[in-house]
Amino acid sequence: MISFGVIGSSIRGGNISLLSALTIPEGDRPQRLQELKEACGFSELVAVFTCNRVEFYYIADGDEPATGRRNKLLDFFLRDNPQVSFEPSDIYCHSAFRALKHLYRVAGSLDSMMVGEAQVLGQVKKAFSDAREMGLCANQMESVFTEAFRVAKKIRRETPLGEHTVSMVSLVVGEVECHLYGRDHSIIALVGVGPMTEKLAAHFKARDDVELIIVNRSTDRGAALAEKFNAKAMSITDFVNHAPAVDVVFSATAAPHTILGQQEVQALLANRDSDLPLLLIDLAIPHDIDATVAEMRNVVYRDIPRFRQTADKNRRERFKAVDQAERIVDIEVGRAHRQNAERQFRPVFASALNEAMAYAHAGLDRLFDSKLQDLDDSERKNLTHFVEKLVRYTNNLPVSALAEQADTSHGSCAMIAGYGCVQTRAETNIDTEDPSANRCARHEGRSCVLDGKHTFML
């Protein structure tokens, strides 16, 4: 029996020390992940590392429960790090179709801190690509992740989940691009050298119609960042006293007081010969730009509350699309149930198909020799083709019916839902809101779809 599962922890649990302990530095990953794979008995492994989550997707042989694999993974990371404390709820482990649904939701950005965040899919794709380059995964994992990517794209294509921006970087970029739309050349001043400045500089660096100026109190740090993004560097003093003809000023420093007041903004306006208003964006706390500049003519002022208002509105629109996206995930997991069941059942019915086909040919031969002697070769060929098609169709009906049963009954079967069979697992007290964790089709008076040698594990 082959099992697919995931073990992970996210920032939702609030245990930052555990999240840090499970994170492997990028340079150490090839060796450490290979060691982890061997220690836990995984045949294939894909590790996802982001600032919000650490997850280990695995395929393993044997029937060891997911909790056993989770314990091995924790021993691997924490045996030399006993000071890390955690509760059972800080780490999750899912298997089978429950793990598959989790992967679909992660790739589709339904499990993100910011629902609909576009960059999550890219992070999952990179994790899979890295695992393949390290030789950690092969065909089975590729099949699983390829489907996850397809589902994520389907969510983007068929729902408005990604249409409403909620991240601060995307909102700022959208504001600037909208402001500069149609201009042949623009100058953007980025005040400060923090993470937000770098993200904006990286975005606008690729545009030939934009000139960047990095403004900072420390000329050395400003110059280093300017060199990285092919920009001009200025000190705050030079920027204020020798105001260039900028079209946009973005500021996000840690200064304890305002950097630009009405007098400095007036100097910026005086140096411009454009009829385009000057866009001032202030994301600093406390403000870098005096909020009263919003009252000045030919100035457009934006600050954190304004962007938060837009983000909240967009977030409400996104949540309207979540139900659609969750429905797509459920349909695709059901589709995986049916496909997996068909793969399990079809070999059983192959011999029955051969026998039925042989019986049909024997019957046709008797008819051709007795009651249908007048048929020519073309008519006999057409009749034979119809009978063969009918035999294949009727033989496939029980396969489809059993596959459909596997799909519709998974919510009432702990084993298929990925918790382990209620009748065989040692621990039945699972802390989860999922009602299928302790449900059993046989206990409810129905036939068990797991009877015999068929197991619905990916």
- pLDDT level of residue 366 (50, 70, 90 thresholds): very high
More confident residue, 303 or 350: 303
Who has greater pLDDT, 341 or 54? 54
pLDDT in tens, 76-126: 999 888 788 888 888 999 988 889 999 999 998 888 766 767 778 888 999
User: CA 321 to CA 163: how far, in whole Å?
Assistant: 10
Polymer length in residues for the chain? 458
Beta carbons of 259 and 240 less than 8 angstroms apart: yes
Three-class secondary structure of residue 274 per DSSP: coil
pLDDT at 195 exceeding the cut of 70: yes
> Letter for the amino acid at 263?
Q
pLDDT at 456: 42
Q: What is the pLDDT of residues 23-52, one digit of tens each?
A: 888 889 999 999 999 999 999 999 998 867
Catalytic site residues? 51
Three-class HEC string of 220-238: HHHHHHHHHCCCEEEEHHH
Q: What is the mean pLDDT of residues 372-378?
A: 91
Is residue 136 very low, low, confident or very high in pLDDT (cuts 50, 70, 90)? very high
Percent of the chain with pLDDT over 90: 31
pLDDT of the residue at 428:
47
**pLDDT exceeds 70 at position 402:** no
pLDDT of 413 reads 65
Tell me, what's the pLDDT at 279?
A: 95
User: CB-based burial of residue 410 (10 Å sphere; 0-12 exposed, 13-18 middle, 19+ buried)?
Assistant: buried
Scanning the structure block, which residue is given the tokens 């890390």?
84
Average pLDDT over the chain, rounded to whole? 82
* pLDDT (tens digit per residue) in 274-317: 778 999 999 887 889 999 999 999 999 998 888 777 767 766 66
Cα 406 versus chain centre, distance? 26
The predicted model gives 138-151 an average pLDDT of 92
Query: Token digits for 356?
Result: 């039925």
User: Which of the two residues, 332 and 404, has the higher pLDDT score?
Assistant: 332
Domain 168-305 superfamily per CATH: NAD(P)-binding Rossmann-like Domain (3.40.50.720)
Q: Where in the chain is the domain with CATH 3.30.460.30?
A: 2-158
C-beta separation of 276 from 246 below 8 A: no
Give the confidence band of 326 by pLDDT, cuts at 50, 70, 90: confident
The string of pLDDT tens digits covering residues 223-274 is 888 888 889 999 888 888 887 889 999 998 878 888 899 999 998 898 887 7
pLDDT surpassing 80 at residue 168 = no
**pLDDT (0 to 100) of residue 1:** 41
pLDDT beyond 80 at 213 = yes
| Helices 168-180 + 195-205 axis angle, to 10 | 40
> In the chain, where does the domain assigned CATH 3.40.50.720 lie?
168-305
Note the pTM of the prediction, 2 decimals.
Answer: 0.57
pLDDT category, 430, cuts 50, 70, 90?
A: low
DSSP-derived secondary structure letter, 277: P
pLDDT band, residue 425 (cuts 50/70/90): low
Contact between residue 204 and residue 188 where contact means Cβ atoms under 8 Å apart: yes
Query: Among 62-71, 86-95, 357-366, which range has the highest average pLDDT?
Result: 357-366
Query: What does the pLDDT average to over 335-356?
Result: 75
Secondary structure (3-state) at 281: strand
Residue 433 pLDDT class (50, 70, 90 cuts): low
The CATH superfamily assigned to 2-158 is: Glutamyl-tRNA reductase, N-terminal domain (3.30.460.30)
Q: Is the pLDDT of residue 149 over 70?
A: yes
The region that residue 78 occupies, defined by phi over 0 for left and psi between -120 and 50 for alpha, beta otherwise, is alpha
- pLDDT above 70 coverage of the chain, percent: 82
Contact between 336 and 97 under an 8 Å Cβ cutoff? The reply is: yes
Contact 107, 152 (CB under 8 A): yes
